[in-house]
Amino acid sequence: MEGKVCLITGGGTGIGRAIALRLAKAGLNVIINYSRSEQEALETKSECEQLGVKAMVYKADVSNDQEVRKMMNDTINSFGRLDILVNNAGVTNIVPLEDLEGLKEEYWDRAMAINVKGVFFCSRAASEQLKVNNGCILNTASVAGMTGQGSSIAYAASKAAVISLTKSLARALAPEVRVNSLSPGMVLTRWTEGKDEPIKRFAENAPLGRAATPEDVAEVAYSFIANASFVTGQNIAIDGGMLM
């Protein structure tokens, strides 16, 4: 794995940051994409470089196909290759499931544009280079896409679409490129800050007795990338056994 190149969308914070650091620890050079969290992306870049690898930050809106294509071209021009794509960027607007009128059209548009179209645009733009290098794609979905529960109906539907898209891309890009997805449950990121009661309820009901850390998800991501050469089109829940 050492010397390979990975681009991580939404790589400056939370799960994306943890994956970037885990891959850098294994000797991979990383491109940290962001759309708004510039300072966090720069901090993640610095931490990766301290691990002895090359790192770059790149601002791009993954729902904009032209920006995505330019990001992929600039990545290849800068690093000479691209081996791994982690489609991690995601958004949500919190709307209780029963509040159908509260789920505004713009919330739907935003969730589908970034969470679904963004995965497709990035995968399409990277596909030819990934084929050359027998690379892989890893998509961050969510248990919300498996249960229909979550921060909103639109978010759950978008993550279900990511799981489906993972399977379609796995078929389309085989045999050169593997495509898999991760479905985290409750993860202790900035999205869960201040939500002590939901975190407590999750921990009480999960067989493993706690919520996940970003590092928990990053370890599974690394396993898929580095140690699962005969696995494609699969989705795995990282939820402490809640869906068991």
Residues catalogued as catalytic? 155
Q: Which of 78, 75, 89 is nearest to 35 (CA)?
A: 89
- Report the chain's terminal Cα–Cα distance, integer Å: 32
Alpha helices in the chain (DSSP H): 14-25, 38-50, 65-79, 105-111, 118-132, 144-147, 153-173, 196-205, 214-227
Task: Check if the beta carbon of residue 190 is closer than 8 Å to that of residue 241.
Answer: no
For residues 122 and 31, is the Cβ–Cβ distance under 8 A?
no
Q: Is 233 exposed, middle or buried (0-12, 13-18, 19+ CB in 10 A)?
A: middle
* CA distance to 66, 79, 110, 176, per residue, from 118 (Å): 11, 22, 11, 22
What six digits make up the tokens of 144?
């919300």
